[in-house]
Amino acid sequence: MRFTAVLFAIFGFAIASSGQVEINPNLKWKFVISQDLDLASGNFIEYEFPAEKNHDYIFNITHNQDSLHAVLLVFDLQDKPIRKMILDNNQLSIDLPFDVPASGTYKVVLGLTDPKGKKGDLIPSTFTLIKRPKV
């Protein structure tokens, strides 16, 4: 009986976490992925994600340090740059809107750098990707 309850709980969690969550039904924005990260200043991380042609995408990274610069880069799997944004205006929330030329797997490289040269400090951050059909 206990095994069955655990199995149903796992199955229910898998169903709930597999779908994309609508943010604003009127605008059709949906979450693709959202993750809390501890980024080390000066280090970069890389994610792969599936993307569809004829959709708008926005990567967002938020952090709590007002003296950091953010770097967000989007590449196709042949390492061709799709979008690049380097912000040095000390924003705590950075948006990178983009679209893709074809459906497929893409990757994003993101990082935070300290203009004062401090490296290695962990910076609590949130990384989010949302999408919607082109309007």
Domains present along the chain, CATH in parentheses:
23-133 (2.60.120.380)
Task: Return the SS3 of 17.
Answer: helix
Angle in degrees, CA 78, 83, 84, rounded to 5: 110
| Of 94, 109, 99, 96, nearest in space to 48 by CA | 109
Structure tokens at 114: 């300290």
In this model, does residue 25 exceed pLDDT 70? no
Q: Is-above-0.75 flag for pTM?
A: no
Residues ≥6 apart with Cβ < 8 Å to 22: 28, 29, 30
pLDDT tens by residue, 78-128: 999 998 888 776 677 888 888 899 999 999 998 887 777 667 778 888 989
Residue 108's DSSP bridge partners are 47, 74
In this model, does residue 16 exceed pLDDT 80? no
